Amino acid sequence: MSARTTVAPASGPRLFNPTIAGITLRGLLGRRRSLLLIPLPLVLIALSLLVRTGNVPTKDALQVVVTGLGVAVILPLTALIIGTSVLGSEIDDGTIVHILAKPVARREIVLTKYLIAAVVSGLVAGVSLLIAGTIVASVSVGVGFAVAGLIGAFVYSALFVLASLVIRRAVLVGLAYILLWEGLLGNVLDGTKVLSVQKYVSEFAATFSGSSLVHGPMSLILAIVMSAVLTVGALLIAVDRLRSFSMAGETS
């Protein structure tokens, strides 16, 4: 009797499939793109040590390094790399058909892969933000940024998983969102912050750190509501989109 990995059908509605999660993790760690995750946190930590030893004012160091690099660059790039890989890479190379051939609900596939992307992104970005915030300011500030980064990873991951299902060049579109919408327009046009995950994360960091050195750019209620709306909305559309895929891995 030969050993064979199967994705067993659920006995009832499920949101998480351990077998799909294992396949996703193995595929994610085995892809060359995942190697980009190694230097990003190291750069953030190294710069935090540099500004700490350089007698840079704590408030400026938090703004430039932890927020300007950690929240605005490291977090979204990490989520982009992982979020567009968990489904997008399988669609590109055609291996998605092996999962679609199983009697598993499309919702189960999307949510399992989303949770893997969000948790891995949150751990990578959250730990680096925790260390950076602690080095630059204090443990409480580090914890505040780490919790905010974890929440942000769940929002970003939902958006980037959806992007990988609806856009062929999802990485490029994701970079445009991070660099142009959030990085450029987000700092020039005040109205863009309503659709900026970076601004939500900054508000969460200000709230959870409890430090007067960290200022939020918007109201906490708005950040919570918009985070929930974008996450749930993106996942609903992603599930619907995957349902339209044929066995060939393309939309019917």
Residue 44 lies in a domain: yes
Number of CB atoms found within 10 A of residue 106's CB: 17
36 vs 75 pLDDT, higher one = 75
236 vs 191 pLDDT, higher one = 236
Residue 187 has pLDDT above 50, yes or no: yes
Residue 140 has pLDDT above 80, yes or no: yes
Split into its structural domains, the chain has a count of 1
Distance CA 209, CA 42 (A): 22
Q: What does the pLDDT read at residue 90? A: 74
| Backbone φ, ψ for residue 222 (5° rounding) | -65, -40
pLDDT band at 12 (very low <50, low <70, confident <90, very high): low
pLDDT band at 4 (very low <50, low <70, confident <90, very high): very low
The mean pLDDT of 7-31, rounded to a whole number, is: 73
With tokens 């092996």, the residue in question is 98
Distance CA 65, CA 48 (A): 7
Contact (CB, 8 A) for 198 and 182: yes
Of 8-17, 26-35, 93-102, 192-201, where does the model show the most confidence? 192-201
How does DSSP assign the chain, residue by residue?
-------PPPSS--S--HHHHHHHHHHHHHSGGGGGGTHHHHHHHHHHHHHHHTT--HHHHIIIIIIIIIIIIIHHHHHHHHHTTTTHHHHHHSTHHHHHTSS--HHHHHHHHHHHHHHHHHHHHHHHHHHHHHHHT-HHHHHHHHHHHHHHHHHHHHHHHHHHHH-TTHHHHHHHIIIIIIIIGGGT-GGGGGG-HHHHHHHHHHHHH--TTS--SS-HHHHHHHHHHHHHHHHHHHHHHHHTB-TTSSB-
Range of the structural domain that residue 109 is part of:
18-243
| C-alpha torsion 245→108→235→32, nearest 10 | -80
pTM for this predicted structure: 0.88
Residue 178 lies in a domain: yes
- The overall average pLDDT reported for the chain is 87
Distance CA 107, CA 16 (A): 9
Residue 3 has pLDDT above 50, yes or no: no
Residue 153 lies in a domain: yes
Distance CA 69, CA 133 (A): 12
Residue 175 has pLDDT above 60, yes or no: yes
Weakest-pLDDT range from 64-68, 173-177, 183-187, 245-249? 245-249
Residue 7 lies in a domain: no
- Geometric angle at alpha carbon 161, from 98 and 228, rounded to 5°: 135
160 vs 104 pLDDT, higher one = 160
The mean pLDDT of 165-179, rounded to a whole number, is: 92
Q: What does the pLDDT read at residue 13? A: 57
Residue 242 has pLDDT above 70, yes or no: yes
Q: What does the pLDDT read at residue 24? A: 85
Q: What does the pLDDT read at residue 37? A: 80
- Burial per residue of 218-240, b for 16 or more beta-carbon CB atoms within 10 angstroms, e otherwise: beeeebeebbeebbeebbeebbe
Q: What does the pLDDT read at residue 33? A: 65
Q: How far is CA 176 from CA 36, 132, 153, 181, in A?
A: 18, 26, 18, 7
59-72 residue pLDDT tens:
999 999 999 999 99
Residue 6 has pLDDT above 60, yes or no: no
Contact (CB, 8 A) for 141 and 133: yes
Residue 27 has pLDDT above 90, yes or no: no
pLDDT band at 94 (very low <50, low <70, confident <90, very high): low
The mean pLDDT of 120-128, rounded to a whole number, is: 96
Residue 44 has pLDDT above 80, yes or no: yes
